[in-house]
Structure 1
Amino acid sequence: MPNHTTNYNLIKPTPAEFYDIEVHNENMDTIDTNLADVQEQLTTHLDNVANIPRARYKTAISKNLPSTTWTNVGWDVMGIDTENFVSQSNNTEIVINKSGEYLITTNVIITGTANKGYRNVMITKNGNYLAYQNNSTTDIGIPTIRTVCTVVEHLEVGDIIEIRAYQDSGIELSIGVESSFSITKIAGFS
């Protein structure tokens, strides 16, 4: 009498049994059916991940960043907006079109000839502080630095998100090309 596998109940003939092509074919049909189910589940999962509402902006040209002045970062290119949940009232203000819980991340490249001072980035909501990241270049000794800042926040329709940058090198620096801003809706899906 044959044995069966634990998970898919495939037939395992004993060594004393003769090879039977029907048993082999039945096992292959079971494997095929189960693999098709796994593939469908994986495709559904990947489709759901791909449909997470998100938007991404970046800079295509460098921007002036004066010393000792908080400056709003302007975004030139919208790379993606999967569900039209944000809009731009101008190139610095991102307006929320759908309420929910959001992950906001920015990666600002501050570049120039100075390798001293601070490089700071702030995320604001309706002009008020949400999150802040400070980098000191005094100990690093490099003129270009990436400053990453991330926050999770509940946002309502009409809320305005801005990214602000600051540096105190004593000379004007630049917000570099390929700086980026992304916002992902993580809860409150409608």
Structure 2
Amino acid sequence: MAKQTPNYGLTKSDLEEFYDVEVQNSNMDIIDNELKILDEGKASSAELTSLEQTVTEYFEHTTNYIEVNLLMNQSIPTTEYVRLIFNNKVTDNPNLFDLLPDGKIKIKKKGRYLIQGQVAFGANGTGRRILNIFVEKAGSTLISVAKSTSLPFADNLSDRKQISRLINLNANDTIYFSVYQTVTDGLPLLVSNEETYLTVGMV
């Protein structure tokens, strides 16, 4: 007997049932409608700013998180994703997280996690930039869980950009933060160590 998904009522046919195009079309209609609602409800700049403040306030009132940053500025070459090498723990909960030598954060307990990353850009880069938080699952499956839109070039070291994501994670999943820049002059992009960080908290 066919079952329905709990959130959107999509029909899941049993293995012994024959393929029914009407069931498939009904599922696609539901998905199309939900995507339209999501697209029409995109957050404004003010709403996104409020969300960032809420995330920051959450981390200020919990100990179930890790925050890591850079000990020195990192140079980002052009036209490639570069993983930020976090090598300094600002705050840590060793029961939940490990900071690995390659700058990744390893999850030690299955649960729901809030991830927030911020990058402070130097003024030396003239290209457009993209931030991306990746989760590496068991079996080396790589998933992009938070990605910024293409950002304009930086004009000073106070140019900071954030991305956040709430996601379910399993033990031994790893998280890392990458930056991409595309430029015409070939100058590497400087990422400032003072305001660049990655924070992961269990909620």
TM-score with structure 1 setting the length: 0.65
Q: Cα deviation per residue 1:149-181 (whole Å; 9 max; x = unaligned)?
A: 100010100001010001113311112112111
The number of aligned residues is: 135
Q: Quick one: which amino acid aligns to residue 202 of structure 2?
A: K
State the match for 2:200 in structure 1: 183
8 Å contact kept, 1:111–1:143: yes
Deviation larger for 154-163 or 144-153: 144-153
8 Å contact kept, 2:124–2:188: no
Trace 1:23-172 onto structure 2 (pairs within 5 A). 50-114=61-125, 116-126=126-136, 127-137=142-152, 142-144=155-157, 145-169=159-183, 170-172=186-188
8 Å contact kept, 1:86–1:94: yes
8 Å contact kept, 1:65–1:174: yes
Of the three residues 167, 177, 189, the one matched with 1:173 is 189
Q: Secondary structure at the match of 2:172?
A: coil
State the shift of 1:82 in Å. Answer: 2.9
Unaligned regions of 5+ residues in structure 2, if any?
1-59, 137-141
- Distance in 2 of aligned mates of 1:85 and 1:120: 29
Bigger Rg, which one: 1
Unaligned regions of 5+ residues in structure 1, if any?
1-48
State the shift of 1:134 in Å. Answer: 2.8
8 Å contact kept, 2:87–2:103: no
Indicate the structure with greater strand content.
1
Instruction: Compute the RMSD of aligned alpha carbons.
Output: 1.9
Percent identity over the alignment is: 19
User: Which of structure 1's runs of 4+ aligned residues deviate more than 6 A?
Assistant: none
